[in-house]
Amino acid sequence: MRLVAVLLGLVALALPRPAPACTCSGAIDPTIRIISPPPGVLLPLNGRVRLRMDRSIDVRKVSLRAASGDRVEAELTAWAPGGVKIVEVRPARLLYPGTKYDVVVVRKKTPEPIGSVTTGTGEDRTAPGGARVTDAFVHAMKDCGWCCSEGILGEILIAGLADFGAAEATLAWQVWVGPADGPGYGWAFDAQAIRFGLGPMSCGPALLPRPKGKVTVTARPVDLAGNAGPAIEATLDFANPEPWRKN
């Protein structure tokens, strides 16, 4: 069964530390990309759109516009893991079925189409489920290709996660460090690995401060319609990192 992973940047305060050995190029990518739904995947009528951009980009407004003239305003929620920003676009009402909508953003004043999504025929009321943890470990990073952290990476591998009628790439995770009985600590939007880098980052804010020992992580899968599935839990032991694993 293919491993599902969740890439996560957890924004947190950390004590000052020496700068990492690697540096960023300093270039800012001005592109705003639709990351979910991916190409070829239909958006449920109650679905949401997720955008990815450089953390320095300020998006003030997003709307969905159809060729028929239908225009749907949206509420925005943003997260900034490391050097990137993820914006979730939640339409103010149900979308029309079988309709192509242009995603139009406003950075300053001028509306700017950045791509399009197409709706399916119905709403999504089914929560994702079936996830199970197959491994959880802490290892030393092989290089600084992650923009980059302090050289230690906590990683959680998960298998079996599924959402009826939806592509795996449309799933995200709400994450807590500790039990899921308070505000969410962060979000994960990548379907490759739950990864906790140790700050400070050279391209963004500090991530998870270096723990002294074991850390319990709780994560709950959430689909594009906002349906939340059962939570999974894993423990990472940062006191005993192992050599780098290539997954």
- Pairwise CA distance, residues 1 & 60, whole Å: 41
> Nearest to residue 205, comparing CAs of 68, 77, 73, 85?
85
pLDDT digits (tens, 9 = 90+) for 103-141: 999 998 899 999 999 999 999 999 988 888 989 988 876
150-176: pLDDT as tens digits? 567 778 888 877 765 555 667 788 888
Give the pLDDT score at 91: 97
Q: In order of start, what are the domains of the chain with their CATH numbers?
A: 3-22+125-237 (2.60.40), 33-118 (2.60.40)
pTM: 0.75
Q: Ramachandran region of residue 121, left (φ > 0), alpha (ψ -120 to 50) or beta?
A: alpha
| CA separation for the pair 194, 156 (Å, rounded) | 5
Residue, of 238 and 180, whose pLDDT is higher: 238
What's the pLDDT tens digit per position in 69-106?
A: 899 999 998 877 566 788 999 999 999 999 999 999 99
d(CA 214, CA 223): 29
CB atoms inside a 10 Å sphere around CB 232: 20
CB atoms within 10 A of CB 246: 5
The identity of residue 11, as a single letter, is V
